[in-house]
Amino acid sequence: MSGKFTSVTALAAPYEPINVDTDQIIPARFLKAPRKEGYGRFLFHDLREDPAFVLNRAPYDKARILVASDNFGCGSSREGAAYAFFDAGFRAIVAPSFGDIFFNNCLKNGIVPARLPADTCRELRRRLTQAPGTEITVDLETQLVDGKHAFAVDPFFREMLLKGVDEIGLTLTLLPEIEAFERAYAAKTPWMSGS
């Protein structure tokens, strides 16, 4: 967990392709790098060799929010995709839908994945394209983008992000429940978890 998150107002970049897989976000050959060395340099690594790639162009090179398209972050479970966004300064990604594992990985890494309707995302991307440098606001407290577009984050993870709660720490407070579960399990169904 990466501290408390309430709201981010930042320059946003539009990214049009649908079904962006995590192999594009970070090629697999970089996943063995130690996290402490920083993953920001790997973000869209191979695509960024094209000078025209959106995050290479001013002012989008300063973006900290991405407005993307359907099924963003599909494919591999590599958490390096979320590390790369976070280490490159991104704190929110807005899209109509996300790959499920990438969505969870964002929440665990201080990035708000905000689902907005496809029309709203398209309109936001159009605005960002026509007026480069536009800032948008993703507010986790009100669950609104730019004060008007409502998005839903599971209340559990919203609270964790808002309060900066450590998830493992929280779960360990439920250890008595976990142990009770295990006792019942061992008594009734020893063949379930017994290896």
Which positions lie near another protein, rule CB under 8 A?
17-19, 21, 23-24, 27-29, 31-32, 34-35, 46, 70-71, 74-80, 82, 97-101, 104-105, 108-109, 154-157, 159, 167-168, 171-172, 174-175, 177-178, 181-182, 185, 189-195
Residue closer to another protein, measured from CB, 9 or 19: 19
Residue closer to another protein, measured from CB, 43 or 136: 43
Residue closer to another protein, measured from CB, 60 or 83: 83
Cα separation, 163 vs 157, whole angstroms: 10
- CA angle 27-29-33, nearest 5°? 110
Cα separation, 91 vs 158, whole angstroms: 14
Contact 167, 1 (CB under 8 A): yes
Closest contact distance (angstroms) between CB of 18 and another protein is 8
Residue closer to another protein, measured from CB, 113 or 136: 113
Cα separation, 29 vs 127, whole angstroms: 35
Query: Which backbone phi and psi does 48 adopt, to 5 degrees?
Result: -75, -10
